[in-house]
Each structure stands twice: as C-alpha cells, then as structure tokens.
Amino acid sequence: MAVYGIDLGTTYSCVARIDDVGRPAVLRNLEGADTTPSVVYFESADSVVVGQSAKDATVLDPDHVVQLVKRDMGEPVPREFHGRAYSPEEISARILRKLVDDAKAATGEEARDVVISVPAYFGLAERDATRKAGEIAGLRVLDVVAEPIAAALDYGALEDAAEHGDRAILVYDLGGGTFDTTVLTLRGRELTVLCTDGAKELGGSDFDDRVVAHLADRFRERFPDADDPLSDPQSETQLRKDAEEAKKALSFRERYTVRVMHQGRVEAVELTRGLVEELTRDLLDRTVDITRRTVELAAERGVSAFDEVLLVGGATKMPAVAATLRAQFGFEPRLHNPDLAVARGAALYALDRAERDRAEEGAGAEETGLTHRPYEISTVASRGYGIKVTDIDTGREYVTHLVHANDVLPASVTDDFHTIRDDQRKVRIEVMEQAGAVESDEPAHNTAVAEGTLKIPPGKPKRWPFQCVFTLDTSGLLNVVATERETGERIEISVRIGGLSQEAVDEARVAMSRQRIG
C-alpha cells in the first residue's frame, strides 16, 4: 500500500506520495491547488469546512474560523464551537482529513499510512500532538520527520553522502507565519539537526500586511472623504486576499495592478516588485540576522561552511530572498518547489520508514524492490530534561539537566545526587523540562513535568547519595528511576511528553467520524 507524506503547515498544508516510478508527487486538492490553506471553519455542529473555502468564510463568520492552529500544538488550549471544545490536535485532524480525502479523490486509493512533518524546534509534546492529530484523523502515523530533513531529502541533498563524506546543509524556511533556519550535518551515515533557530511570528503574512497597508493608503489618498477600507472586515479581507495574490504574482513579474474596492468606489493601484521589496526590506533583514546567528552557532559547533543552502517555504519564491542571501553571505541557494519540498520529502521518508518496518517484520528489502538509503536519521531530544536541586551551601535552587537538547535518542543518563540535611528522610524528585530555546539552570526557565518522593533510611548524614537514571526514548517516553542504594528503595516516574491520552484520542476520532468535513 502506498505511503504518504504530509506537510501540516502553519498557513498552508500539502500532501504527496511516491509515484509508480519512485518519485515523490504532490496530490492536488479538490480545488485543483497543490497546497491547501490550513484554515478550519466550524460551519455547524456537524459540518466543518477546510482550506480555501474556510479562508473565504473569514469574511462572513470570523468567530467560527481557526487559523494558525499549529502555533498551539502541544498546548492545552481548546476552542469552543457550537457547544463543543476542540483541542489543537482535533482541529489539525480536520485539516489532515481534508488532505487525505482529497488525495483519495485524486488517486482513487485510501491514504492511511503517513509521515507528518514538524518544525525542527518542536519539542516532544508538539511532536506527540502532531502524531495524535493524525490518529484522530484515522491515520497510521509511521513517524514524524523534521521539516528541514524532509526538505533536504526532496532536494536530494543527502543522496551523494556516500561519495562526498561529511556534509553540512543550511535550510532557510520562510513560510506564511514562521521563519526557521536549520543546519543539518551528515557524518558518515548519521544525519543530525546541528542547530535550529527562527521566529515564530515572522512569515509571508507579514509581507502581505505591508502590501495591505500600502493599498489602503493609496485608497485613502484618492478618496479622503470615504471610510477607511480597513475599518470594514469584508473590504479588509478582500484586500488581504488581493495583496497576497499580488505578492505572489510579483515573484514572477515586475508589475501587478490591484483594484481596491470599498463602499462602491474603486482605485486601481499599480504595484511593482521593487516597491514591495522596499516595503518589506526590514522583514527580510530580520531573517538575515537570524540566519547569521545560526551560521555563528554552527561555527561554534564546528561547521563553518555549507555544502548546500536550500530554500524552503512559499515566501522564498520572492527573488529578493535568494538575492539577499547571496549578497549577505555569498551563498548560492537552491530554489525548487519550495512550498512542496517538505511534503515530497516526507513522502520519501515515509517510503523509507515503511520499508524499514517491513524489513524488521522479516520481509526483507529485496521483496519490496526498494533500496535502502545510505543514512540513519537520528532523532534527537528537542529539549533538556533534569531535576530541580538545592545548592547545599547557598540554598539556591537550580536545575541540573541529565538529558540535553540534541542528545541522540534513545538516551539513558545516570547521575548521583545527595541529601542536603542530616537525617533527611525523603527527597522530592522534581522532573523538569527546559522551557526556553536555550538550556538554563534557572527553575523559572524550566517547566515541572512530574514529581515523586524517594525514602531515605533514618540517621544518615547530609550529602547521603542516591542515584537518578533518566531514559528518554524516541517516542517521547521519559522514564526516571531514583534509587537509594543501601536499602534498594526505588521509585519510578514515567512521563509521556505529550498531551492527549489514548482514550481522548479514540473519543475524538469517533466524534470526528460523525462530522462532515469538506
């Protein structure tokens, strides 16, 4: 059975599968487009609309439309529509459903086995939420894959690793609502995310905003006595739509005219590529600053040159992106299907995964007629994990991390800790997860994810030792075992770094099957 790759994007999503000749192919949606807006419209209790029609519904019924739900993945932030609360996983599940239903219409075959891509910076909770969104949608999620890795697969940037030896790849991803830069290294067979950085609130829609503001200005200048077109939701939504169209068109041509309509008046505004570049220069400059930070961090970690610089995300179609990277860094970036590359790469990865699963089941690669790729993609911890401890001399509380971000999973780390008082009869083990982008020992920069209490025998002096073993597997199961060695007393704390329980997922799947989704 065919396997599918899904790019569940912040603003646009895309689905691809491997075609009969082994190449990834994007499947168009029912509207005939390669990508589908990640927008969900809760029309009524039993009918949900996804994609362009949902985006269009924003004008008429904005309170029932959800955009940018990806930003909430991994957080318990339900939204209520028609008397029912929907988690981010459930909302994302409806996007996935639309994608695979349309894929089925395109191929005539049920899409069930999928790999879904996630940003490289997604922690285990967000990855788990993405998996569960897939399960709610009734899919078998073979794996999740980091978006830059998927993109690099589609670009073929990892293919000739065997001949070329170690490689370093910089992925610059400017999407609709986010910007990410990631450095990947391929050493021998091992592919790793060396570092990743970005801005969660910087993307193509900020470019649209600038164009909208400019168009509204021109309209106001022309009709000083008319109302502001931005004060009317309907005119504003139309303007946003036209501005995005104009921006896209200007990636391929020099001029484009938008007719700004409001209260029966019309002003034709001519835009040029140069003008839009001027209006958005500072946005692009911000991506340059972040890229420079990433390049510097990669250098600190031993990578000072890149074999490939890959452009990903629809907004990199703007010629100014490649030109700016060339001018600022001397890069020769590659640009090819930047808004489809992640889904296509996820499909390649899905094929590899399915084949490996089959090999493990004993079928062997020969039988599938496919060849193994010459590398192993290692899953790394996206955050650090540790416990909260108290400095025995100063009384200061801080966090000691045993597992660090980018440690290859599965990871198992053992460390000794000590009591701080004479005759201390118990120690509280507080398991902490790094909260920010960088590891910090400040408790405030970490989130408590679980706790337990270990008994210590009576009469022991302070600094009495006990042992902690942290084990984190690739699926996000964190297991902490604390042991008092003299008595053998031990406690075990298991944390699933993720959100919804299996029951909640099952329930959500049943609820969704009763809804019409189109």
Contact residues toward ligand ADP (CB under 6 A) are: 9-12, 35, 175-178, 203-205, 244, 247-248, 251, 313-315, 317-318, 339
Residue closer to ligand ADP (CB basis): 337 or 483: 337
Q: How far is the CB of 400 from ligand ADP (least distance, A)?
A: 37
Q: Which does 248 bind (CB under 5 to 8 A by kind): Mg ion, ligand ADP, none?
A: ligand ADP
Side chain identity at residue 252, one-letter code: F
Q: Which does 87 bind (CB under 5 to 8 A by kind): Mg ion, ligand ADP, none?
A: none
Is 472 within 8 Å of 478 (Cβ atoms)?
Answer: yes
Q: Kindly state the DSSP code that residue 316 receives in the 8-state scheme.
A: G
Instruction: For residue 380, report the phi and psi dihedrals to the nearest 5 degrees.
Output: -120, 155
Q: Are strands 190-199 and 376-377 parallel, antiparallel or unpaired?
A: parallel
Side chain identity at residue 399, one-letter code: V
Q: How far apart are the C-alpha atoms of 228 and 263, rounded to whole Å?
A: 10
Q: Is 442 left (phi over 0), alpha (psi -120 to 50) or beta?
A: beta
Q: How far apart are the C-alpha atoms of 488 and 61, rounded to whole Å?
A: 62
Residue closer to ligand ADP (CB basis): 167 or 344: 344
Is 73 within 8 Å of 34 (Cβ atoms)?
Answer: no
Q: How far apart are the C-alpha atoms of 17 and 434, rounded to whole Å?
A: 36
Q: How far is the CB of 36 from Mg ion (least distance, A)?
A: 13
Using the rule CB under 5 A, is 123 a contact of Mg ion?
Answer: no
Q: Which does 148 bind (CB under 5 to 8 A by kind): ligand ADP, Mg ion, none?
A: none
Q: Which residue stretch of 7-15, 83-91, 293-301, 393-401 sits at the interface with Mg ion (rule: CB under 5 A)?
A: 7-15
SS3 per residue for 318-355:
CHHHHHHHHHHHCCCCEECCCCCHHHHHHHHHHHHHHH
Using the rule CB under 5 A, is 176 a contact of Mg ion?
Answer: no
Beta bridge partners of 161: none
Q: How far is the CB of 200 from ligand ADP (least distance, A)?
A: 11
Side chain identity at residue 20, one-letter code: D
Please give the distance of CA 218 from its chain centroid, rounded to a whole number: 37
Helix (H) or strand (E) holding 89: helix 88-107
Nearest to 452 by CA among 420, 430, 474, 472: 430
Q: Which does 498 bind (CB under 5 to 8 A by kind): ligand ADP, Mg ion, none?
A: none
Site string for Mg ion, 282-301 (x = CB under 5 A): --------------------
Q: How far is the CB of 151 from Mg ion (least distance, A)?
A: 9
Q: How far is the CB of 482 from ligand ADP (least distance, A)?
A: 42
The structure tokens listed for 417 are 């800790």
Q: Which residue stretch of 169-177, 180-188, 436-444, 492-500 sits at the interface with Mg ion (rule: CB under 5 A)?
A: 169-177
Q: Which does 418 bind (CB under 5 to 8 A by kind): ligand ADP, Mg ion, none?
A: none
Q: How far is the CB of 333 from Mg ion (least distance, A)?
A: 17
Residue closer to Mg ion (CB basis): 51 or 175: 175
Q: How many helices (H) and strands (E) does the chain have?
A: 12, 28
Nearest to 153 by CA among 274, 28, 310: 310
Q: Which residue stretch of 175-183, 361-369, 377-385, 418-426 sits at the interface with Mg ion (rule: CB under 5 A)?
A: 175-183
Is 475 within 8 Å of 467 (Cβ atoms)?
Answer: no
Residue closer to Mg ion (CB basis): 382 or 471: 382
Residue closer to Mg ion (CB basis): 321 or 429: 321
Residue closer to Mg ion (CB basis): 9 or 499: 9
Q: Which does 197 bind (CB under 5 to 8 A by kind): ligand ADP, Mg ion, none?
A: none
Helix (H) or strand (E) holding 368: helix 365-368
Residue closer to Mg ion (CB basis): 175 or 384: 175
Q: How far is the CB of 398 from ligand ADP (least distance, A)?
A: 37
Residue closer to Mg ion (CB basis): 9 or 123: 9
Q: Which residue stretch of 5-13, 84-92, 316-324, 459-467 sits at the interface with Mg ion (rule: CB under 5 A)?
A: 5-13
- Binder to Mg ion among 9, 74, 203, 384 (CB under 5 A)? 9
Q: How far is the CB of 68 from Mg ion (least distance, A)?
A: 12
The helix/strand/coil state of 162 is helix
Residue closer to ligand ADP (CB basis): 323 or 363: 323
Beta bridge partners of 385: 403, 433
Q: Which does 242 bind (CB under 5 to 8 A by kind): Mg ion, ligand ADP, none?
A: none
Residue closer to ligand ADP (CB basis): 31 or 296: 31
Q: Which does 318 bind (CB under 5 to 8 A by kind): Mg ion, ligand ADP, none?
A: ligand ADP
Nearest to 4 by CA among 90, 97, 125, 121: 97
The helix/strand/coil state of 143 is strand
Residue closer to Mg ion (CB basis): 24 or 175: 175
Q: How far is the CB of 284 from ligand ADP (least distance, A)?
A: 12
Residue closer to Mg ion (CB basis): 121 or 470: 121
Beta bridge partners of 270: 257
Side chain identity at residue 261, one-letter code: M
Q: How far is the CB of 113 from ligand ADP (least distance, A)?
A: 22
Using the rule CB under 5 A, is 175 a contact of Mg ion?
Answer: yes
Any long-range contacts for 75-84 (C-beta under 8 Å, 24+ apart)?
75/125, 76/499, 81/42, 82/42, 82/44, 82/45, 83/45, 84/45, 84/511
Instruction: For residue 338, report the phi and psi dihedrals to the nearest 5 degrees.
Output: -60, -25
Is 510 within 8 Å of 90 (Cβ atoms)?
Answer: no
- The residues of the shown chain that bind Mg ion, judged by CB under 5 A, are 9, 175
